[in-house]
Chain A
């Protein structure tokens, strides 16, 4: 393949990754923004989303499409409820002390991961996509004094991948609309600004926290459900996903939803392209170092502004 078509393919693949990453990272960012909690178990909620999607689709009959839609609805709710329960039983009791909460979420990470290993097992399992038509893509080239359209071999995507991109955009718009225009969004933003003041004004801060933690985990689970027809479900898949979301959230500026989405696009799109030039390991090294240096030298993120 020529460079042009190849770049287009890498961009499309990158957009799929960016959509999934943006969903997951916005959950992490929401939790940090409102609750000031760094949720190290976030990657496990993503893993649970994928594993439960496998479980739901294998239980529900009526064809892959019905099963998948069922998973898309049921799984985030289950994971969100689980996370809200964890918030109320564990994090609330720690009074959201930053360091102790991190230690607790590390514990939660191992509990979720290991319970999955004990029940679901160590195998990687696929989920059949609801639709998966291969779409060949055209490419334009200037030749013989005119513009010609042709269909390069290997330049294609699938309807499912396009669906993931669209779903990512739709869900993130919904989250944004909820934060901006709904009553619950207003309560969340008020709590984010000053939780003590919010409490004094009669906002049920504890319930808002449980809800935010649940929504954050639900977003990760949604990302897991969406990815599982492309990538198989495995009990260790949370680790890399957590690392990538950390990178996105920190580069985008902790707690800023817009910055998170910009960073997800940047990381998602560049991931495919960077791996062309570097080994994946070297690309990861560069990414982890980037996160460390951003935190050391530009703690407000690459796109954020200092709020003090």
Chain B
């Protein structure tokens, strides 16, 4: 088998496995996995920046929230149907990413991290400030009859699962394709050595801006879908915690790998799910995981797989 074939077999196999699980999983895990796939999509978006371009953002919740609120507010206040509402959500995230990218990319490293953190905090506070429309922390429910997309009722567990899988598969293969194309190769070049990439004649600022916009758009798509599939939008999804989560998932799963975000989101979701049965301090797990990962396994799960067995893993 050539490397390309191996890559296809692995990723198509993952999607096929997830599809098959739709018919056999018990209800509880079925619902969890639907959630994990949407969150993994969010992590895939995050990974475009962190894993493939070397840009560490601490504010991705703003893109997730932009997608979620762009979608939910246009349903609630403008009476949009789900399909155009989804588009509004994705476009909000893309627009926000463009603006944030244009500003934040003037900085690098630690300053970039703090700038993204501050912009995300601004978005969160704005959601609270506009409580009249967003209902702030409390959030609001999107009614079942508002969640019928092309005749499919997204509140039905199986449709919801398959919709989440569709979103996940699209974003997985889109990023897989991206990193094999010239633009994606330039992202990796910037991650490896920004100055060298510039002196090979690449417009590094523009490439990074593309990366931020692609990353923000995928994150927004995840946020909009999350709101639509689970019928709720709330300011919690814009908090710092939701900016830290994708970082955690990607670090755990493996930065700069295509399946890493999914593995990380899956493991961390169940880790927190299990521990929240024992204690209300479930974020302790996240904290310990961050420290342990950054100290002992900066490659993450898929990174270790690549190092030890599958050197071809993209």
A interface, CB within 8 angstroms of B: 38, 90, 93-94, 98-100, 102-104, 106-111, 113-115, 117-118, 239, 243, 246, 250, 279, 281-282, 284-285, 288-289, 291-293, 295-297, 299
CB distance from A80 to the nearest CB of B (A): 20
Q: Is the CB of A295 within 8 A of B115?
A: yes
CB-based nearest A residue for B130? A281
Q: Which residue of A lies closest to B291 (CB)?
A: A107
Q: Known interface pairs A99-B113, A279-B129, A292-B118. Does A111 touch B294 (Cβ–Cβ under 8 Å)?
A: no
Contact, CB under 8 Å: A99 / B109: yes
For the complex, what is the distance from the CA of A246 to the CA of B292, rounded to whole Å? Answer: 26
Q: Annotate B270-300 by CB proximity to A: 1 below 8 A, 0 otherwise.
A: 0000000001111110111111101100100
Closest 9 pairs between A and B when the two form their complex, measured CB to CB? A110-B287, A107-B290, A114-B284, A107-B291, A114-B281, A111-B287, A292-B118, A288-B121, A117-B281
Query: B179 an interface residue at 8 Å Cβ cutoff?
Result: no
- A299 touching B281 by the CB < 8 A rule? no
Residues of chain B in range 109-159 having any CB-CB distance to chain A below 8 Å? 109-111, 113-115, 118-119, 121-122, 125-126, 128-129
- Assembled-state Cα–Cα distance A298/B110 (Å): 15
- Complex Cα spacing A58 to B126, Å: 40
Whether A110 contacts B283 by the Cβ 8 Å rule is: yes
Whether B48 is near chain A, meaning CB under 8 Å from some CB there, is: no
The answer to whether B294 touches A107 (Cβ under 8 A) is: yes
Instruction: Report the separation of the CA atoms of residues A104 and B107 in the bound assembly, to the nearest whole angstrom.
Output: 22
Please report whether the interface of chain B is mostly helix, strand, loop or mixed according to DSSP. helix
Q: Is the interface of A mostly helix, strand, loop or mixed?
A: helix
- Is B43 part of the binding interface, using a Cβ–Cβ cutoff of 8 Å? no
In angstroms, Cα B106 to Cα A293, docked, is: 11
Q: Which residues in B have their C-beta under 8 angstroms from that of A281?
A: 125, 128-129
Residues of B within 8 A of A102 (CB): 56, 58, 110, 113
Q: Does residue B258 face the partner (Cβ distance < 8 Å to A)?
A: no
Docked Cα-Cα span, A106 to B109, in Å, equals 16
Q: Contact at B129–A100, with CB atoms within 8 Å?
A: no
Do residues A292 and B283 form an inter-chain contact, with CB atoms below 8 A? no
Q: Could you tell me if B294 and A110 are in contact, using CB atoms closer than 8 angstroms?
A: no
Contact B107 A299 (CB under 8 A): yes
CB <8 Å contact, B109 and A295: no
B103 at the interface (CB under 8 A from A): yes
Known: A104-B295, A296-B115. A285 touches B122 (CB 8 A): yes
Q: How far is the CB of A107 from chain B (nearest CB, A)?
A: 3
| CB-based contact B281/A115 at 8 Å | yes
A288 to B118, CA, bound (A): 5
Taken together as a complex, chains A and B put the C-alpha atoms of A206 and B80 apart, in Å, by 60
In the complex, chain B residues whose CB is within 8 Å of the CB of A282: 129
8 contacts across the A-B interface (CB closer than 8 A): A100-B298, A114-B283, A115-B281, A246-B118, A285-B122, A288-B121, A292-B118, A299-B107
Known contacts A90-B291, A98-B110; can you find 14 more A-B pairs with CB under 8 A? Answer: A102-B56, A102-B58, A102-B110, A103-B294, A107-B292, A107-B294, A110-B286, A115-B281, A281-B128, A281-B129, A284-B121, A285-B125, A288-B119, A295-B111
The answer for the CA separation of A110 and B268 in the assembled complex, in Å, is 15
Chain B interface (Cβ < 8 Å from any Cβ of A): 56, 58, 103-104, 106-107, 109-111, 113-115, 118-119, 121-122, 125-126, 128-129, 240, 244, 247, 251, 279-284, 286-292, 294-295, 298
Q: Report the bound CA distance from A39 to B109 in whole Å.
A: 14
Given A99-B56, A104-B291, A292-B119, residue A246 in contact with residue B244 (CB < 8 A): no
Q: Which of A104, A117, A284, A289 contacts B294 (CB 8 A)?
A: A104
CB atoms of A90 and B115 under 8 A apart: no
Check B251 against A103 for contact (C-beta < 8 Å): yes
Among B58, B126, B287, residue most surrounded by chain A Cβ atoms (within 10 Å): B287
Known: A38-B110, A295-B115. A103 touches B121 (CB 8 A): no
In the bound complex, how far is the Cα of B284 from the Cα of A94, in angstroms?
A: 21
Give the contacting residue for A292; candidates B103, B128, B279; CB below 8 A.
Answer: B103
CB pair B122 A288 closer than 8 Å: yes
Contact A295/B244 with A107-B290, A107-B294 known, Cβ cut-off 8 Å: no
Closest chain-A Cβ to B43's Cβ sits at a distance in Å of: 15
* B115 lies within 8 A of A107 (CB): no
Closest chain-A Cβ to B81's Cβ sits at a distance in Å of 32
Instruction: Name the contact of B107 in the complex, choosing from A94, A110, A289, A296 (C-beta under 8 A).
Output: A296
Set of chain B residues within 8 Å of A118, measured between Cβ atoms: 279, 281, 284
Instruction: Report the separation of the CA atoms of residues A288 and B114 in the bound assembly, to the nearest whole angstrom.
Output: 10
Residue of B nearest to A247 (CB): B118
A289, B106: Cβ atoms under 8 Å?
A: no
> B114 near A285 (CB under 8 angstroms)?
no
Rounded to whole angstroms, the CA-CA distance of A282 and B122 in the bound complex is 9
A291 CA to B56 CA in the complex, in Å? 18
CA distance A93 to B292 in the complex (A): 11
Residues of B within 8 A of A114 (CB): 281-284, 287
Contact A295 B107 (CB under 8 A): yes
CB nearest to A282 among chain B residues: B129
The answer on a CB contact under 8 Å between A292 and B287 is no
- Residues on A with C-beta less than 8 A from B111 are 295, 299
Asked whether, in the complex, the Cβ of A292 is within 8 Å of the Cβ of B122, the reply is yes
